[in-house]
Amino acid sequence: MTIDQTGSPPTAGHQFPAGSDAFPHRHLLGIAGLQPWEILFLLKEAEQWVDLNRQSSKHVDRLDGLTVINAFFENSTRTLLSFEIAGKRMGADVVNMHAAQSSVKKGETLIDTAVTLNAMRADAIVIRHASSGAVQLIADKVDCPVLNAGDGSHEHPTQGLLDALTIQRRKGDISGLTITICGDVMHSRVARSNIYCLTTLGAKVRVCAPTSLLPAALDRMNVEAFSNFEQALDDADVVMMLRLQNERMNGDFIPSPREFHHLYGLTRERLALAKPDALVMHPGPMNRGVEISSDIADDLDRSAITEQVEMGVAVRMACLDVLTRRSRGVEGWS
């Protein structure tokens, strides 16, 4: 089939190009550069795993015999767990490598670590690293697909995808929605992946933070930047709050947590400025009472925060499945 590159992208109900043309990339290093239908293809693929994950028996043997290494050079609880569950539910042998237990601490270079992981014949490697670009550096050195589970302030593509899936399931077509992302945009890989993902799918994206936490040239990324939270919230369909790192809260970028809450905390009064049915999201872990007040976070009618976690597993299952199709010899995936 032909893809209409000028009109609206195909949505979940649409056909996608056959075989590997639907997602021709070897790795998932970021959302930047993906075509809208490639993102939508992954979201569509994830739907089946949402259904599976809601059944009592949550197992398929699609990745049976494959080895997936989760190489986490930076601490993580929920993303690591989510990837581990995703791999195991599809029958892969999942191995977790924590930087604290690895030879990284002994001064081994990242490239040497990559070559070592490669020699162990992993079928997919999931990597988190504190430095922007580190995952790409490893991907260039290994033979198997690499999934970026977060690199520095650069990208966290599966977070972008799971957020898009959450929004799509609640709001339908993402195109045309107004989505406000508020918090430490400068240092946030979640913000970047969401900006790429949501703007590619046609949403109007606003970002909001004190200008000291907004990176330069945001206008070049098709987003509108705000420093006034009330203005940024006006008539929004989705409000996505970012986590403010503790180390940036005490005088470095922000004078204090309570001052941040005063100016940028999502409270019920502020949420009233958005659309009446506006969805509240947060990638977790939350600083309750800082970027978000508890009564909003726990309001099941407004908050999609636990749903995001649920979608995370499904999206990661879809990514592991799609990226290993070539090596598994799935028809049409050469």
Q: Which residues sit at the interface with other proteins, rule CB under 8 A?
A: 32, 109-111, 129, 131-134, 136-137, 151-155, 189, 192, 215-218, 220-221
Q: 137 or 330: whose CB is closer to other proteins?
A: 137
In the numeric block, the tokens 């006034």 are attached to 228
Give the separation between CA 243 and CA 100, rounded to whole angstroms: 24
Give the separation between CA 179 and CA 172, rounded to whole angstroms: 14
Q: How far is the CB of 181 from other proteins (least distance, A)?
A: 14
Q: 18 or 111: whose CB is closer to other proteins?
A: 111
C-beta separation of 305 from 282 below 8 A: yes
Q: 136 or 180: whose CB is closer to other proteins?
A: 136
Q: How far is the CB of 188 from other proteins (least distance, A)?
A: 9
Q: 7 or 220: whose CB is closer to other proteins?
A: 220
**H helices then E strands: how many in the chain?**
12, 9
Angle at 314 between CA 308 and CA 316, to 5 degrees: 100
C-beta separation of 284 from 150 below 8 A: no
46: Cβ–Cβ under 8 A, 6 or more apart, which residues? 161, 165, 311, 314, 315, 317, 318
Give the separation between CA 127 and CA 136, rounded to whole angstroms: 10
Q: How far is the CB of 160 from other proteins (least distance, A)?
A: 13
Q: How far is the CB of 187 from other proteins (least distance, A)?
A: 8
Q: 109 or 228: whose CB is closer to other proteins?
A: 109
Q: How far is the CB of 118 from other proteins (least distance, A)?
A: 15
Q: How far is the CB of 242 from other proteins (least distance, A)?
A: 14
For residue 257, give the H/E element and its range: helix 257-264
